[in-house]
Structure 1
């Protein structure tokens, strides 16, 4: 993956944040936006940043977008431009196309035209923040599907010194602890003999209901 190149179209809040993080991770990023000010703001941070109209096929062709491994359509204020740009990236042969959706309907249209992944940053962030607000031990929450979730839960004082064998969340609640993040490092696929300490972080996978039951049982 380290040699992968990304083209990010739309340098608003989501596109610029994504672009900067990819550069921090060591990838080459071409940023495209029709707003000259947005491009100017990012020009020193990205590998390349250009002012261009992404709905013009010849412009995208001249920029060599077909040579990029992944194209992300992060246009946030024009559904028509988002859809047209996505179609052009697919037609030009970009290996993987990811697109930001502003609504469920927009997302369904993007899926119909064959994007590899649709992302809903505002919706997903709202869901994650809501769960964090109502669950005191929940550090992060990612919905894997309609039914399954992966959550990070901080270990409360009552579980300090308790082994996974004694806790046995799979038998009691149906969810599984797939990792434990300790101050000295992360334990992937922990064994029954691993012991929790206060302030460790448990990475738990299961249905929403199973994780809610598990969390409720350890915070009583």
Structure 2
């Protein structure tokens, strides 16, 4: 069965989520108090509704508690974001993801029970910083405040070495959990696996250890 999503707030962030979910074939209800934005998404979302998400009666009338996941992507109005999240919790919505504007906003959202809190601008900034610092880093995904998964392109310094030769886990405290080689994906590679030029290494570990590996090995 298709999952049903509701996206509240159709700014840049909410709009991009709405488009992406719709392109994946999901059922998406788009909600915003701006009629022009709703008109923009009328042919993109499954349903597009003008409504005030801080009004409990409005959310009830939309059957919001029946959705599998609700994304609160309200822009600058922190009060509206918090109140909407509170109402969604009270109505028993199962999964709530909320965009936070700053650390204070995040703390409040955590206290009132948001299931997932995202900082799109901050997180994208970190990803871009990692890509700028090292030409070898393709992508960066934050798992927590201190741990990440990074995609690293194997250069000439890494190519030809086996995992046991590099002993990355012992030397840097990080793990290579998979290797992408063209269309092939090697999951949990063996210690004897030799790295080839342009292999993409999927590395997981503490940010401090990944940074140390990037500085000493990739940028040396």
TM-score by length of 2: 0.94
Aligned residue in 1 for 2:158: 159
Bigger shift: 72-81 or 203-212? Answer: 203-212
Cα contact 1:131–1:141 (8 A) shared by 2: yes
Aligned residue in 1 for 2:52: 53
Cα deviation for residue 145 of structure 1 reads 2.1
Instruction: List per-residue Cα deviations over 1:26-48 (Å, max 9, x = no partner).
Output: 32111101111111111111111
1:77 aligns with 2:76: yes
C-alpha distance in structure 1 between counterparts of 2:9 and 2:185, whole Å: 36
C-alpha distance in structure 2 between counterparts of 1:174 and 1:83, whole Å: 39
After the TM superposition, list the runs of 4 or more consecutive aligned residues in structure 1 that deviate by more than 3 angstroms. none
Can you give the 5+ residue segments of structure 1 that lack an aligned partner in the other structure? none
C-alpha distance in structure 2 between counterparts of 1:130 and 1:18, whole Å: 23
1:126 aligns with 2:125: yes
Q: Name the SS of the counterpart of 2:157 in structure 1.
A: helix
Cα contact 1:179–1:203 (8 A) shared by 2: yes
Instruction: List per-residue Cα deviations over 1:6-26 (Å, max 9, x = no partner).
Output: 111001111011111122223
Cα deviation for residue 111 of structure 1 reads 0.8
C-alpha distance in structure 2 between counterparts of 1:8 and 1:174, whole Å: 39
Cα contact 1:9–1:54 (8 A) shared by 2: yes
C-alpha distance in structure 1 between counterparts of 2:35 and 2:179, whole Å: 46
Cα deviation for residue 158 of structure 1 reads 2.4
C-alpha distance in structure 1 between counterparts of 2:80 and 2:177, whole Å: 41
Cα deviation for residue 65 of structure 1 reads 0.6
Aligned residue in 2 for 1:9: 8
Alignment of 1:164-203 (within 5 A): 164-203=163-202
Q: Name the SS of the counterpart of 1:178 in structure 2.
A: strand
Q: Name the SS of the counterpart of 1:106 in structure 2.
A: helix
1:28 aligns with 2:27: yes
Cα contact 1:156–1:218 (8 A) shared by 2: no
Cα deviation for residue 213 of structure 1 reads 2.2
Cα deviation for residue 193 of structure 1 reads 2.4
Q: Name the SS of the counterpart of 1:203 in structure 2.
A: strand
C-alpha distance in structure 2 between counterparts of 1:25 and 1:196, whole Å: 34
Can you give the 5+ residue segments of structure 2 that lack an aligned partner in the other structure? none
